[in-house]
Amino acid sequence: MALDPAEQHLRHVEKDVLIPKIMREKARERCSEQVQDFTKCCKNSGLLMVVKCRKENSALKECLTAYYNDPAFYEECKMEYLKEREEFRKTGIPTKKRLQKLPTST
């Protein structure tokens, strides 16, 4: 049974694990300012970071949660996943390996 590359059905693991993983990665990129502020605060505060970085942590959580709860963002990540999966089914090569520069012979 060959898999249709363009098939849109999502398995449980794709819906609940793989697409949310893409969402987390993209949300962290889009909230990079808050991530940097929180990281900087933690580095400067040492063990007191739990108390001293509440404001930065709250700002980061708020930014990430806004993306996680956005249905349009979910759809964007789902379509990105489906495109990657379709390409994998056609070529058999995972995206990461496809994007690496191919060695050239000299």
Q: Is the pLDDT of residue 96 over 80?
A: no
The length of the chain is: 106
pTM of structure: 0.77
The Cα-based distances of 13 to 18, 53, 72, 102 in angstroms read 7, 34, 20, 31
Q: pLDDT at position 2, please? A: 56
Q: What is the pLDDT of residues 19-74, one digit of tens each?
A: 999 999 999 999 999 999 999 999 999 889 889 999 999 999 999 999 999 999 99
Predicted local distance difference test score (pLDDT) of residue 9? 87
Residue 91 pLDDT grade (very low, low, confident, very high; cuts 50, 70, 90): confident
> What residue ranges do the domains of the chain occupy?
25-91
